[in-house]
Amino acid sequence: DYEVEPEGDQVFLTPEGEERLARRLAAVGLLESDDPEALFDSPGLARAALAALHVGACMHRDQQYLVVDGALVLLDEATGRPQPHRRLQHGIHAALECKEHLPLSRENVCVASVSCPGLFRRYAQLSGMTGTAAEADDEVARLYGLQVFRVPPHRANQRVDEADLVFDDDRERRRALCVDVVGLHEREVPVLVGVPTEDVARVVAADLLALGMTPRVLSAKDPAGEALTIADAGRLGAVTVATPLAGRGVD
């Protein structure tokens, strides 16, 4: 009745699904006709149906959102950090609350918006510092009329760049990662494994656990525990798996 895109973040009805949905909505009196065209003649109903489909197929508790004290809290996909004041639009937030049997909250209404460049250009003076500005120097010049300057390191670079390794698939890559971590762990070297998302963090942690290690996942889902995980990350033999922004802002 529906198909989910390979990335897993978009879902759409097949023609057969549209027909089945129209028949079922007509059977309960929400549509005057069981013709699929009638579904899309009612934009509000179509939006609600597609929002429910998206929530059922693409959004999972403890992955994209949490339920905390009877309220829905969204999670940042990249960092796993809770975003208590963020709401999803197009009926998706209400569909999530229905899915988890939570009271419906009022839908936000956008009364005005401004782009980030538009907001920044309102300042009389504008500057910034980041480790990745050089990669976007053309964009910074185009949007803000500013130049990017490199600040040289205080000491000579001692990093050794090894040759690239190419793997057939993600499983082979994770296996090689685990071999490196095991070798360091046996020497009691503290190891920090950086991963792109919360989902990958769970998979890597499970791989390391199967090899007899006790990795700790630095997850923004547990703000109270983040500080303790960070404090222990430098201990002898510690293995910590972290998403890109987890731990930022932790005292």
CA distance readout (Å), 144 to 124, 127, 247 = 11, 10, 30
Euclidean distance between CA atoms 88 and 55, whole angstroms: 11
Mean pLDDT of all residues in 28-52 = 83
pTM of the model: 0.56
Lowest-confidence pick of 51-55, 176-180, 220-224, 236-240: 220-224
Q: Pick from 22, 92, 15, 88: which is nearest to 50 by CA?
A: 92
Question: CB 74: neighbour CB atoms within 10 A?
Answer: 19
The mean pLDDT of 142-167, rounded to a whole number, is 92
By the 10 Å C-beta count (0-12 exposed, 13-18 middle, 19+ buried), 125 is classed as exposed
Q: Which pLDDT belongs to residue 213? A: 92
Percent of the chain with pLDDT over 90: 45
Query: In this predicted structure, what is the pLDDT of residue 99?
Result: 93
Structure confidence at residue 178 as a pLDDT band (50, 70, 90): very high
Condensed to tens digits (0 to 9), the pLDDT of residues 106-135 reads 877 788 999 988 999 999 999 989 888 999
Q: What is the pLDDT of residue 119?
A: 94
Residue 251: predicted pLDDT = 63
pLDDT at residue 207, as a whole number: 94
- The span from the CA of 245 to the CA of 251, in Å, is 14
Predicted confidence at residue 249, as pLDDT, reads: 62
- In Å, how far from its chain's centre is CA 189? 30
Per residue in 201-243, pLDDT tens?
999 999 999 999 999 998 766 767 888 899 999 999 999 998 8
pLDDT at 236: 95
- The region of weakest confidence among 8-12, 95-99, 215-219 is 8-12
For 94, phi then psi, to 5°, come to -65, -40
Residue 183: which H helix or E strand, with range? helix 170-186
Task: Write the CA distances from 25 to 18, 20, 60, 188, integer angstroms.
Answer: 11, 9, 25, 62
Q: What is the mean pLDDT of the chain?
A: 88
Amino acid 78: pLDDT: 63
Q: In what order do the strands lie in the sheet with 239-242?
A: 191-194, 239-242, 216-218
Q: Sorting pLDDT into bands at 50, 70 and 90, what band is 8? A: low
